[in-house]
């Protein structure tokens, strides 16, 4: 869904080589267009400096030096803090009468350009102690736009998945970032495995990309970011890769991250993908649930050993790495075993009316199952990915006092 600024402000052009080196952009402020939990429609307003402003606010800064037209691999760096950008969004919502909450912010020079991440610069080398940024690596369980931008906003289809998310709203790390009141910078790519898959970067590729972008981020201090890694589902469910290969690639990515200065890292283990609809619904074509279950248990056990090994290895070098493993499997198991306690009534079907598992499904619109009138009552949005309400439970618990957020508050400096 696109909306122009005004022909009187500038012509509607695609992101161009000239703009790639420009020092200004505009702010897109996205929101859900409906309160219906099964509706994935969205809209946006252009950020305003005040609710009485007429023209969209110009955001000053610089583009990452990449002159390829409409390349999704781009980022806009600004000295404005995320809190100021959120205020500009709220001003626009007030002016336009939008009552839905802000879901996402992006840089966009025209109505035809893609959505680009806005990085808020650290203004000096002297910064308060504590974590000030969330950096995310992973796959579709964590991706909030990257594959969507990389496919020119074709996948996942916006009529069935919300704004580049493989669910009907936000994903777990967005709930986490909001709970901690820190910005979320996301390198996760849907379809990713621990190692590269075709053109999709694995963990090391994602870390390399992050390191490349940070060369243009003034005063950035990696020790004041929290890094998360959540990977392995595609390796086991879709790509038939071994547990040993996942652990080896995750180990290499963690070492590269630590050696580049990361000091606060959270690894998430794998939930019970073998209990997702693709394995258990009445249309399931899979007969390998037991194998997947066994591999998940093996991987999760290996992650315990990996985290312990790396902590010991770096402690011996007098490098203090705050590295922990979060047990998302136990959390999701609890939801599946006692759904009523989490406001759930369906743990075996997808809300979307999907009866086969194909990558092509993500390019198409799909009806909702007739009995899915409230997606919050379902654990799964499609046959593999959870609903945004399930993501919320993972990210911050039912009341905002649990989940990954509570674990982070207990184990990391904020």
| Token couple for 90 | 């709220």
Report the percent of the chain where pLDDT is more than 90.
86
Q: Determine whether 402 is exposed, middle or buried from the number of CB atoms within 10 Å of its CB (0-12, 13-18, 19+).
A: middle
DSSP designation for 408: H
What's the whole-number mean pLDDT along residues 399-414?
95
Q: Which structure tokens are listed for 178?
A: 């909001």
Query: Catalytic pick from 109, 140, 225, 377?
Result: 140
What are the residues facing 28 on neighbouring strands?
Answer: 46, 106
- DSSP strand pairing (104-107 vs 75-78): unpaired
Of 158, 165, 366, 385, the active-site residue reads 385
For 252, the token pair is 């290499």
140 is an active site residue: yes
382 part of the active site: yes
In angstroms, the CA 158 to CA 348 distance is 24
Q: List pLDDT tens digits, range 334-376.
A: 999 999 999 999 999 999 999 998 999 999 999 999 999 999 9
Contacts of 276 by beta carbon, 8 Å cutoff, 6+ apart: 380, 383, 384
The CB density around residue 189, as the number of other CB atoms within 10 Å, is: 25
Domains in the chain (CATH in brackets) are: 17-120 (no CATH), 133-411 (3.40.50.1110)
Catalytic residue among 122, 158, 382, 391: 382
- Continuous H helices in 340-402: 388-396
Model pTM score:
0.93
Check whether 14 has a pLDDT greater than 80. no
> Which residue has better confidence, 12 or 65?
65
Extract the tokens encoding 205: 């590729």
Q: What percent of the chain has pLDDT over 70?
A: 92
Local confidence band at 111 (pLDDT 50, 70, 90 cut-offs)? confident
Nearest to 108 by CA among 17, 187, 30, 15: 15
- Residue 21's pLDDT is what? 52
Check residue 175 and give its pLDDT.
98
Rg (CA), the chain: 21
Q: Which pair of structure tokens corresponds to residue 120?
A: 């808020």
* Tokens, residue 228: 């998360």
Sign of CA dihedral 144, 82, 400, 185: positive
Q: How confident is the model at residue 123 (pLDDT cuts 50, 70, 90)?
A: confident
For the residues 215-244, what does the mean pLDDT come to? 97
Position 335 scores a pLDDT of 98
Active site annotation includes 385: yes
The DSSP bridge partners found for residue 368 are 352
Q: What pLDDT does residue 71 have?
A: 56
pLDDT at 265 > cutoff 90: yes
Mean per-residue pLDDT over the chain, rounded: 92
Instruction: Say whether pLDDT at 65 is over 70.
Output: no
Euclidean distance between CA atoms 311 and 265, whole angstroms: 11
């Amino acid at each position: 869904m696109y909306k122009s600024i005004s022909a009187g402000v500038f012509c509607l052009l695609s992101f161009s080589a000239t703009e790639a080196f420009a020092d200004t952009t505009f702010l897109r402020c996205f929101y859900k267009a409906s309160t219906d939990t099964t509706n994935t429609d969205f809209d946006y307003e252009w950020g305003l400096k005040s609710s009485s402003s007429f023209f969209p606010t110009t955001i000053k800064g610089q583009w990452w030096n990449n002159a390829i037209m409409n390349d999704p691999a781009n980022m806009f760096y600004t000295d404005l803090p995320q809190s100021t950008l959120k205020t500009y969004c709220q001003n626009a919502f007030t002016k336009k009468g939008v009552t839905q909450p802000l879901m996402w912010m992006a840089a966009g020079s025209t109505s035809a350009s893609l959505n680009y991440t806005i990085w808020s610069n650290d203004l000096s080398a002297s910064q308060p102690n504590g974590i000030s940024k969330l950096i995310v690596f992973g796959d579709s369980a964590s991706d909030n736009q990257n594959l969507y931008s990389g496919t020119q906003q074709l996948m996942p289809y916006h009529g069935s998945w919300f704004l580049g998310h493989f669910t009907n709203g936000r994903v777990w790390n967005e709930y986490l970032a909001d709970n901690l009141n820190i910005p979320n910078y996301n390198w996760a790519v849907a379809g990713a495995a621990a190692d590269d898959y075709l053109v999709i970067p694995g963990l090391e590729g994602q870390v390399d990309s992050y390191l490349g972008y940070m060369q243009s981020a003034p005063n950035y201090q990696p020790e004041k970011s929290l890094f998360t890694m959540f990977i392995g589902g595609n390796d086991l469910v879709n790509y038939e890769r071994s547990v040993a290969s996942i652990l080896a690639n995750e180990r290499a990515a963690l070492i590269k991250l630590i050696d580049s200065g990361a000091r606060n890292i959270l690894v998430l283990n794998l939930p019970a993908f073998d209990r997702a609809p693709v394995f258990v619904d009445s249309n399931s074509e899979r007969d390998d649930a037991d194998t997947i279950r066994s591999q998940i248990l093996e991987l999760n056990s290996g992650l315990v050993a990996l985290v312990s090994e790396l902590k010991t290895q770096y402690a011996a070098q007098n490098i203090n790495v705050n590295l922990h493993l979060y047990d998302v499997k136990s959390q999701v198991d609890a939801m599946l075993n006692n759904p009523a306690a989490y406001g759930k009534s369906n743990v075996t079907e997808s809300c979307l009316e999907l009866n086969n598992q194909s990558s092509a499904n993500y390019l198409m619109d799909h009806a909702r199952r007739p009995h899915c009138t409230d997606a919050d009552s379902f654990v799964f949005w499609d046959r593999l990915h959870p609903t945004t309400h399930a993501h919320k439970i993972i990210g911050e618990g039912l009341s905002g006092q649990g989940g990954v957020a509570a674990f982070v508050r207990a184990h990391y400096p904020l």
